[in-house]
Amino acid sequence: MNPTISIIVPCYNQAEYLDECLQSVYDQSYQDWECIIVNDGSPDDTAEVVKRWIERDNRFHYLFKTNGGLSSARNAGIEIAKGEWILPLDADDNISKQYLRLAEKEFNKNYTVIYCEAEKFGTESGKWILEDYNKKNLAVENIIFCSAFFKKESWIQVNGYDTNLIYGWEDWDFWISLLKNGGLVYKIPEICFYYRIKDVSMITDMKSADNSFKITISKNIIYKKHIEFFTKELGDFQILYKTNQRLMLENIYLKNILNSKRYRLVNKIFNIFKR
């Protein structure tokens, strides 16, 4: 019998956190799962760590691939997944013992996405406060973290994670793809996901002044891809965003981008609008 849930764990230079992550999978109170660890061409000892878990429990599986980025790694794992439901889990994060059990109780209620309350740990701690789901809030920013449940058939319908988003925000794009034309979302009212905050990560790298172009590139892909969704949900936001985007592109070539008066002014307006 195929497992109900396939947990997909991409790993690139995260071997130091992988044992903790996989222990949180192993400790699940719900047992009908498989866990596919995708080594995305990582130069560290990911393979050695995974070998120990495969020997411990045959529900763990290992896939090695040439480095292609997070979207590519998730897609590769989901492609071979046998479960009806998918749960992505980054190698440096953890889940609570009851996450799978609580989610499984909702599987027959026609939800498109199931997720939970979350908590930060690492260099920051405390509950992770995110806006409640509705399409307008999703249009403003990503309000669903990566470790949410969805059906494999839904992933097929939207052609998986967008591998063009090599710098980040692939989750935001994926949730928009799943939900922009409708769909039900359920949030488990318990903290079941633990998000590690580190001094250096894909997100902090993306937000640094030297790498601000990565934000521009990613936003451009997402907004162009879902232009009708953003226009429908936010209306004139599109005009303001395009102005902000144009000025950011111009300022990439300035030595001190964050001191640009035009950038600060438009970005300030942009952030006020988001609130």
Which domains are seen in the chain, by residue range? 5-198 (3.90.550.10), 205-274 (no CATH)
Handedness of CA 169, 128, 184, 99 (dihedral sign): positive
DSSP string, 221-255: HHHHHTHHHHHHHHTTHHHHHHHHHHHHHHHTTSS
Parallel, antiparallel, or unpaired for β 150-151 and 33-40? Answer: unpaired
Order of strands, edge to edge, in the sheet holding 113-122? 94-95, 185-197, 113-122, 126-128
Rg (CA), the chain: 19
Lowest mean pLDDT among 27-31, 77-81, 197-201, 241-245: 241-245
Predicted TM-score of the model (pTM): 0.83
Residues 157-183 pLDDT 10s: 999 999 999 988 999 999 999 999 999
What's 149's DSSP letter?
Answer: B
Q: Using 50, 70 and 90 to split pLDDT, how confident is the model at 199? A: confident
275 alpha-carbon distance from chain centroid: 22
Q: Is 87 helix (H, G, I), strand (E, B) or coil?
A: strand
* Count of Cβ atoms closer than 10 Å to residue 136 Cβ: 12
| pLDDT number for residue 255 | 46
Cβ-contact 81, 34 below 8 angstroms: yes
Residues 203-235 pLDDT 10s: 555 555 556 678 888 888 999 999 999 989 988
| pLDDT number for residue 81 | 98
Burial 41-77 (b: 16+ CB within 10 A, else e): bbeeebeebbeebeeeeebbbbbeeeeebbbbbbbbb
Q: What's the farthest any 2 CA atoms get from each other in the chain? A: 62
Q: Using 50, 70 and 90 to split pLDDT, how confident is the model at 107? A: very high
Residues 36-65 pLDDT 10s: 999 999 999 999 999 999 999 999 999 999
Instruction: Please report, for residues 172, 182, 218, 225, the alpha-carbon distance to residue 215 in angstroms, rounded to integers and kept in the order given.
Output: 13, 27, 5, 15
Please give the Cα distance from 56 to 110 (Å, whole number).
35
